[in-house]
Amino acid sequence: MRVPYITAYDGEDIPYQLALAPHAEATDGQRLSYVNAVPTDWMFGVLWHRHGLSRAGNPEWKLVNTSRQRRCMRRNLCQVCGQSAADEDGRVWWVMAEPPGRSALGEPFTNAPPTCRTCIPMAQRLCPRLREGCQVFTVRGVEPYGVVAEIFRPVGGKLLIRDTTTEMPLDAFRDLEYSLARQLIVKLEHLRPAILTATGETR
Ligand SMILES: [Zn+2]
């Protein structure tokens, strides 16, 4: 069975140690960090879970590789094959088991990366959730909107987990300072329902 591009492998784990580090712009003057942090550990104002890209070991079918998920979202890549999910006209394909979430302003958002037109029929066959029913969309573009993250709470110099997986918008500054991001959430611009026929044609 084909392993989707975003699936995590058990040989991709990178051991790390979280720490609190002084940071002048942070609300409390400190933020979540690594013991040996480098600037690329942060993106969109939040610390990211370190996850390798080797695809070594065995697939962890239910887990998403953080680095590949973020890459799919930033570059409109298909979560199944890792190639572009955009059409010739630039619209990007999505298949979803449930309708996307909505921001306070009603804008649709999701943490599920696109699926290219070629891979949609296979995704529908292989994924039990999509088999039960799904919607196919195209979007004109995406914009980073939030993260799925763990939030920590500093207690007496130690770090305790406050929430395991929470969706947070990128303007939740204070919570982001204590968060470890695992997936990028994007806003879907000009979302339009689409129909994919058995022959792969679109209407
Ligand atoms: Zn694909």
Q: Is the pLDDT of residue 197 over 90?
A: no
Strands (E), 23-178: 30-34, 42-43, 46-48, 59-64, 92-96, 101-102, 108-110, 135-139, 141-155, 158-169
Measured in Å, residue 7 CA sits from the centre of ligand 1 at 14
Predicted confidence (pLDDT) per residue in 58-104, tens digit: 999 999 999 999 999 999 999 999 999 999 999 999 999 999 999 99
CB hemisphere CA count around 131 (13 angstroms): 5
**pLDDT digits 0-9 by tens, 13-55:** 999 999 999 999 999 999 999 999 999 999 999 999 999 999 9
Provide the pLDDT confidence category of residue 201 given band limits of 50, 70 and 90. Answer: low
Please tell me the distance between residue 161's alpha carbon and the centre of ligand 1 in angstroms: 36
**Ligand 1 center to residue 12 CA distance, Å?**
22
User: How much distance in Å is there from the Cα of 115 to the middle of ligand 1?
Assistant: 6
Nearest Cα residue to 158 out of 17, 13, 15, 16: 17
Sequence-distant (≥ 6) Cβ neighbours of residue 147 within 8 angstroms: 44, 46, 167, 168, 170, 176, 179, 181, 182, 183, 184, 185
In the reported structure, the alpha carbon of residue 178 is separated from the centroid of ligand 1 by a whole-number distance in angstroms of 35
Of the pLDDT bands very low, low, confident and very high (cuts 50, 70, 90), residue 196 is confident
pLDDT at residue 51, as a whole number: 97
| pTM metric for this prediction | 0.93
Domain ranges of the chain: 7-193
Which of 13-17, 131-135, 154-158 is modeled with the greatest confidence?
13-17
Determine the 3-state secondary structure of 124 from DSSP.
Answer: helix
What's the rounded mean pLDDT across residues 116-137? 89
**Position 133 confidence tier, pLDDT thresholds 50, 70, 90:** confident
Neighbour-count burial of 184, counting CB atoms closer than 10 A to its CB (0-12 exposed, 13-18 middle, 19+ buried): buried
What is the distance in A from the centroid of ligand 1 to the CA of 14?
Answer: 27
Residue 91 Cα to ligand 1 midpoint, Å, equals: 14
* pLDDT-derived band at 129, boundaries 50, 70, 90: confident
Residue 73: strand, helix, or coil: helix
For residue 77, the CA-to-ligand 1 centroid distance in Å is: 8
Ligand 1 center to 5 CA (angstroms): 9
Distance 84 CA to ligand 1 centre (A): 7
- Distance between Cα 153 and ligand 1 center (Å): 39
pLDDT 10s digits, 100-125? 999 999 999 999 999 999 999 988 88
pLDDT, position 200: 53
Task: Tell me the β-bridge partners of 148.
Answer: 167, 183
Q: What is the pLDDT of residue 102?
A: 94
Structure tokens at 112: 């599920």
Cα(116) to centroid of ligand 1, in Å? Answer: 4
Q: State the distance from the centre of ligand 1 to the C-alpha of 138, rounded, in angstroms.
A: 14
pLDDT at 158: 85
- What separation in Å is there between the alpha carbon of 19 and the centre of ligand 1? 38
49 CA → ligand 1 middle, Å: 25
